[in-house]
Chain A
């Protein structure tokens, strides 16, 4: 299974994501520059955290038009796995690959600490190694992680089981305590917390590890079936 970690000018969690894949899974992973126009070689695309294009105008607003984002949309359409973390989540909402928007934290503070998340949907390709309702510890680091969507969108997120993680102690004012969501098909996930910063007990938690192992497991399951045919 081959992973791409996108790199925008201003990405600063790209190395963490790269290492999380390499060290946790031992699978091939490449850094892919924002100007790239071909992602066909990759099975999973990680849009990392940071401050792409300096977060000018709004976080993720300018990145949504980076050439590589057309390819991300194509990959999502093809059913490949796309994981947006923090600024990556903001980019995916701006690009329209996920519903809603991220606003400034209600407290106006940049929040940087461990949070406890509840795994609401353990059936996505990214969460299969978790148990339903399991509580996990994953750090956050953001000033604009306050998820917003209107009531209609929230109702459809709930109806389609698109809420993947919620905070047990909402740190930013997000609607319905939402920490992460997926698209209807479940192959695109966006989340504000950083699973790549929780892959080793040395980092304080290794609860993020299973997100990466879930993706690999799902991929192996589907490709195993394909090869039997």
Chain B
């Protein structure tokens, strides 16, 4: 079994209105030091395999096909036993 963690974030070049709003909220409650803030998705998966290389390939395919919309989002993933 492998545990995978996928992070999906809005591309740097694309405005993240949710992030901007939350940053504004932090500022309004006194956390002026927050220079930027972006909100993304965190996805946990358990994979029925021990083959890390194969799992990596499959994860990439999952991200490209469904988990991220690569027109506006970036993704990265981590794999652990």
Interface positions of A (Cβ within 8 A of B):
57-58, 61-62, 65, 93-94, 100-101, 103-108, 146, 148-150, 173
Contacts and interface: CB of A to CB of B under 8 A. Distances in A.
B66 A108 contact: no
23 contacts: A57-B66, A58-B69, A61-B66, A61-B69, A62-B66, A93-B71, A100-B71, A101-B69, A101-B72, A103-B14, A103-B15, A103-B17, A103-B72, A104-B18, A105-B17, A106-B15, A108-B17, A108-B21, A146-B17, A148-B71, A148-B72, A149-B71, A150-B71
Interface of B: 10, 14-15, 17-18, 21, 41, 66-67, 69, 71-72
Contacts, number: 36
A57 B14 contact: no
B13 to A, nearest CB: 8
Contacts of B67: 57
A111 to B, nearest CB: 12
A160 to B, nearest CB: 18
Given A100-B71, A173-B17, 20 more contacts: A57-B41, A57-B66, A61-B66, A61-B69, A62-B66, A93-B71, A94-B69, A101-B72, A103-B17, A104-B18, A105-B17, A106-B15, A106-B17, A107-B17, A108-B18, A146-B17, A148-B71, A149-B71, A150-B71, A173-B15
